[in-house]
Amino acid sequence: MGAIANDIAYPKIRDCLERIVATSPNDASAWAAMSIAGTYRSTFYSVGDSEERAIVVKHAERAAERAVELAPTAYLTRVALLHLSLRQRRFAEFDRLQREFRKNYPGDVFLHIHIATRLARLGRGQEALEIFDRAENDFGINLKNWAPGIAVAYFVEGQYEQAHGQMLRATSNLRFVLVLRAAILGKLNMADEAAPVIDKLVATNPDIKETFYPWLTGISWAEPLILEIADGLARAGLVVNVEPPAIDRSAEPQPKGGL
């Protein structure tokens, strides 16, 4: 999945999948893989790239529809629907699908880890931590690469020291990692340590104060979690806008006459 976040690698992955479905239009797995890749890629666009993101999501939806037509009960088709349900904010469907996978595929540990990261972002930290614990202790998985996701789960539960410990394992400078790192340090009253993190965040995302809220709501993070992260950032020295962006209704038809 890491390659999908890369601006150079992703077009190559997309083009490869498009060639496969063009030559093998009845390959349900290829359609499902295309949907999964597009859905995951859509989470890395900035708020300013909303039009491009919408195109990617639409392609992912169409690919998932084709996979469902060809093989509605196939494993990869169901995985594609799992990914897409969150992107479309169909939370009840996501919950049904994640429970289905955890029941029917108890040994599919990496899918369970993915589910755990999503549960944490939905504010279900304890559930996520139980899955992470099982992956590490029952399956022996080294969870270093998932440290930010585990940190989110601890953050949700108000366990900021444990969240900070996880972030010490994280090496990524992706936007959400920098935001999470700064927010955790803010919650721990470590503003001095947060300062260079904020400097890097603002340098790489100069519009973060304005785009923070629509960015995280747009990728289906829970509202209470977003507000707690904003509180942590404020404590660290970065005040972000947590108000929904104003909607310009000037072009909409206005009602005529009185009440």
Indicate the pLDDT class of residue 257, thresholds 50, 70 and 90.
very low
How confident is the model at residue 253, as a pLDDT? 42
Indicate the pLDDT class of residue 250, thresholds 50, 70 and 90.
very low
The owner of tokens 């394992």 is 169
Q: For residue 253, what are the CA distances in angstroms to 13, 245, 246, 248, 258?
A: 44, 21, 18, 12, 15
Indicate the pLDDT class of residue 48, thresholds 50, 70 and 90.
low
How confident is the model at residue 2, as a pLDDT? 66
Provide the CB-side half-sphere exposure for 100 (13 A, CA): 13
Q: Element (H or E) spanning 136, and its range?
A: helix 125-137
How confident is the model at residue 10, as a pLDDT? 84
Does the predicted model carry a pTM greater than 0.75? yes
Indicate the pLDDT class of residue 8, thresholds 50, 70 and 90.
confident
Crossing angle, helix 191-204 and helix 175-187, to 10 degrees?
Answer: 160
- Over range 182-188, report the average pLDDT: 98
How confident is the model at residue 45, as a pLDDT? 72
Q: What mean pLDDT is reported for the chain?
A: 91
Nearby residues of 95 by Cβ (< 8 Å), 6 or more positions away = none
> Among 41-45, 55-59, 172-176, 203-207, which is the least confidently predicted range?
41-45
Question: CB burial class (10 A; 0-12, 13-18, 19+) of residue 99?
Answer: exposed
Indicate the pLDDT class of residue 243, thresholds 50, 70 and 90.
confident
Indicate the pLDDT class of residue 77, thresholds 50, 70 and 90.
very high
Say how many residues make up the chain.
259
How confident is the model at residue 147, as a pLDDT? 97
Q: What percent of the chain has pLDDT over 90?
A: 80
Indicate the pLDDT class of residue 256, thresholds 50, 70 and 90.
very low
How confident is the model at residue 241, as a pLDDT? 96
Q: Which tens digit of pLDDT belongs to each residue from 107-150?
A: 999 999 999 999 999 999 999 999 999 999 999 999 999 999 99
Do 42 and 51 meet the contact criterion of CB atoms below 8 Å apart?
no
CA-based end-to-end distance of the chain = 55
How confident is the model at residue 246, as a pLDDT? 52
Task: Please determine, for residue 249, whether its predicted confidence score (pLDDT) is greater than 50.
Answer: no
Q: How far apart are CA 25 and CA 70, in angstroms?
A: 10
Task: Please determine, for residue 168, whether its predicted confidence score (pLDDT) is greater than 90.
Answer: yes
How confident is the model at residue 47, as a pLDDT? 59
Task: Please determine, for residue 89, whether its predicted confidence score (pLDDT) is greater than 70.
Answer: yes
Tokens coding 9 = 């690698």
Amino acid letter at 163?
A: A
Task: Please determine, for residue 34, whether its predicted confidence score (pLDDT) is greater than 60.
Answer: yes
Map residue 103 onto helix, strand or coil.
helix
Task: Please determine, for residue 245, whether its predicted confidence score (pLDDT) is greater than 50.
Answer: yes
